[in-house]
């Protein structure tokens, strides 16, 4: 999923996100972030 797709789903950003893991592939010059995002709507229950 791209940042643009995430931005469309979560317009308030990643304020409540937790980083679960970070992976870096130096040879391919790529990085992978695994985020734990809260799926409740803003103002909804925690």
Q: How far apart are CA 12 and CA 14, in angstroms?
A: 7
Q: How far apart are CA 23 and CA 46, in angstroms?
A: 29
Structural domain contains residue 45: no
Helices (H), 1-46: 3-9
Structural domain contains residue 17: yes
Q: What is the pLDDT of residue 46?
A: 56
Angle at the Cα of 1 from the Cα atoms of 13 and 18, rounded to 5 degrees: 45
pTM for this structure?
0.54
Q: By residue range, what is the domain housing residue 26?
A: 3-36
Structural domain contains residue 30: yes
Please tell me the total count of domains within the chain: 1
Q: What is the pLDDT of residue 39?
A: 66
Structural domain contains residue 41: no
Computed over every residue of the chain, the mean pLDDT equals 80
Q: How far apart are the first and last CA of the chain?
A: 24
Structural domain contains residue 11: yes
């Amino acid at each position: 999923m791209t940042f643009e797709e995430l931005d469309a789903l979560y317009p308030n950003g990643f304020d409540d996100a937790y980083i679960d893991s970070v992976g870096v592939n130096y040879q391919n010059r790529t990085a992978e972030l695994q985020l734990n995002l809260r799926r409740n709507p803003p103002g909804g229950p925690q």
